[in-house]
Amino acid sequence: MKKLIPVLVLCCAGAIAQQHPAIAIRNAKIVTVSGPVIAKGTVVVRNGLIEAVGDNVQAPADAMVIEGEGLTVYPGLIDSLSTWGQAGAAATTVTAATGRGGRGTTTAPTATPTPVQAVVIVPTTVSRGPEDRPQTTSWVKIADEISATDRRIESARSAGFTTAATFPTRGIFAGQGAIIDLLTGERPGEMVVASPMGQYISIGRGGFGGGFPSALMGYIAYIRQIYLDADHYKMVKEAYARDPRGMQRPDYDRALEGVLDSPRILLPANRLVEIDRMLRFAAELKQPTIIYGGRETFRPEAAALLKKSNTPLLLSMRWPEKSRDADPDETDSMRTLETRDKAALAPDVLTKAGVRWAFYSDGLDQPRELQRAVKKAIDAGLSRDAALRALTLSPAEIYGVANRLGSIEKGKIGNLVVTRGELFDDRTKVEAIIVDGRKFTPAPDTAPFGGRGTATDDPGNPGIAGGNR
């Protein structure tokens, strides 16, 4: 037992944050993202904020100094749509599902980590119409349910991620997301950077006996009705607030309160026809909208639609692949084969079209999976600068938090990733991660970013759940 205690302490060392009054990384290459690269400079983080950055900055006397010779400093990476930080949500995918033709599946959080699979939500009572508010928990604020014990946090952080936009994903109106910093062993409230960030909406296909809605038309009709109800509810509340005398007070409706409290909505779309449909639907709802999924945005027509509407896109990093459980005798359509072949071209197409977009993990939690996904886009033509921006400043801009995250600038939150070698290069190693000014070291078994095997497909990846067809 006496020998076991030191071993346990050493094993846990990587997961425990080192806290100091200030941290200074000096004589390092600094990639600010928002400005020019500093070939050899110093960045100082104090009390969780970037205190100074530049080529003539001196390390404070009270700072823990990291000698940066041969190291490169980047802003911490941001996952723009995930379930990280949610206890019991392991193996959850947020692949866009939009009914007929999409064949995507929105997987609900499971109580324990299990292989990724589609989960059918069976209501305890059959819904007969929109007045029953089926599959709606719009009032849920994930910021109130954040857990610092989610084991995926350390894995993501070891790959260079310091921040995530985390959302509830169960049901149609799932609830309101939050921007969190990936801390462990801390009070959950310290992880929350901003909340609420938006309402996560999914559109799927119900089964027999599930009640309303059970088809794509029903889902869209229900969402439309919710927003009509919300507009009327808001109007009545405002009228009552102006002069309540002689007026019956409106009933409190937490579902509509949650909808009205959301600054934006997230709508799913993968195929070109779905992207067109959701953009038209968003215009009808008159809500600030983010599209997530984007599997067919390698098609210039899809990118043109997003650019014309000035709608940002969150692009899944889970590239479509044939499921290892698929029927070997099944013949895939030409469209399916084309999507698998060309999906990784989408980041470059979107960038050249001037679309605002960012990557999201879509259930990929392990460093090697995340690394391989980015490398595949780079191999398909995406520039390294664009790839970095899609994982840092772009998601911060899309969510309106670029004044505090996404780049290395004085006054922003001290989220940094320090590497030996250029990010996305083969065998580049993450040396340290700083989150809110607290230094973490990557897990000891973390593979190099872009290491051996990252440029090949993994035909055994089961996480698509049919979404690539």
Confidence label for 205 from pLDDT (cuts 50, 70 and 90): low
Q: How far apart are CA 245 and CA 209, in angstroms?
A: 46
More confident call, 75 vs 464: 75
Q: Is the pLDDT of residue 468 over 50?
A: no
Q: Which of 259, 421, 275 has the alpha carbon at shortest distance from 355? A: 275
Structure confidence at residue 206 (pLDDT): 54
Per-residue pLDDT averaged across 216-241, rounded? Answer: 95
Least confident of 126-140, 355-369, 431-445: 126-140
Least confident of 48-57, 98-107, 385-394: 98-107
Give me the helices (H) in 215-291, please: 216-242, 254-260, 272-285
Residue type, 266: L
Strand partners, 201: 173
Mean pLDDT, all residues of the chain: 85
Paired tokens of 441: 């070291």
Q: How far apart are CA 258 and CA 136, in angstroms?
A: 10
Q: Is the peptide bond before 196 cis (omega within 30 degrees of 0)?
A: yes
Q: How far apart are CA 283 and CA 369, in angstroms?
A: 36
User: H or E segment at 30?
Assistant: strand 22-30
Q: How far apart are CA 241 and CA 419, in angstroms?
A: 56
Radius of gyration of the chain (CA): 23
What pTM was computed for the model?
0.85
Q: Is the peptide bond before 395 cis (omega within 30 degrees of 0)?
A: no
CA 43 to chain centre: 27
User: H or E segment at 22?
Assistant: strand 22-30
Structure confidence at residue 77 (pLDDT): 97
Cβ 296 vs Cβ 272: under 8 Å: yes
Q: How far apart are CA 292 and CA 467, in angstroms?
A: 13
Structure confidence at residue 453 (pLDDT): 34
Count CB atoms within 10 A of the CB of residue 410. 13
Q: Is the pLDDT of residue 59 over 50?
A: yes
Structure confidence at residue 405 (pLDDT): 98
Structure confidence at residue 118 (pLDDT): 36
Strand 173-176 and strand 22-30: the pairing is unpaired
Q: Is the pLDDT of residue 387 over 50?
A: yes
Per-residue pLDDT averaged across 271-297, rounded? Answer: 97
Q: How far apart are CA 449 and CA 375, in angstroms?
A: 9
Q: How far is CA 391 from CA 77, 112, 359, 410, in A?
A: 5, 28, 6, 20
Q: Packing angle between helix 216-242 and helix 272-285, nearest 10 degrees?
A: 20
Strand partners, 64: 23
Q: Is the pLDDT of residue 308 over 90?
A: yes
Q: Packing angle between helix 300-309 and helix 346-353, nearest 10 degrees?
A: 40
Looking at the chain, the whole-number percentage of residues with pLDDT higher than 70 is 81
Paired tokens of 207: 């089964």
Looking at the chain, the whole-number percentage of residues with pLDDT higher than 90 is 69
Q: How far apart are CA 412 and CA 395, in angstroms?
A: 15
Q: Express each pLDDT in 407-455 by its tens digit.
A: 999 999 999 999 999 998 878 899 999 999 999 999 876 655 554 333 3
Dihedrals phi, psi of 163, to nearest 5 degrees:
-145, 150
Q: Which of 287, 288, 264, 145 has the alpha carbon at shortest distance from 198? A: 264
Structure confidence at residue 275 (pLDDT): 98
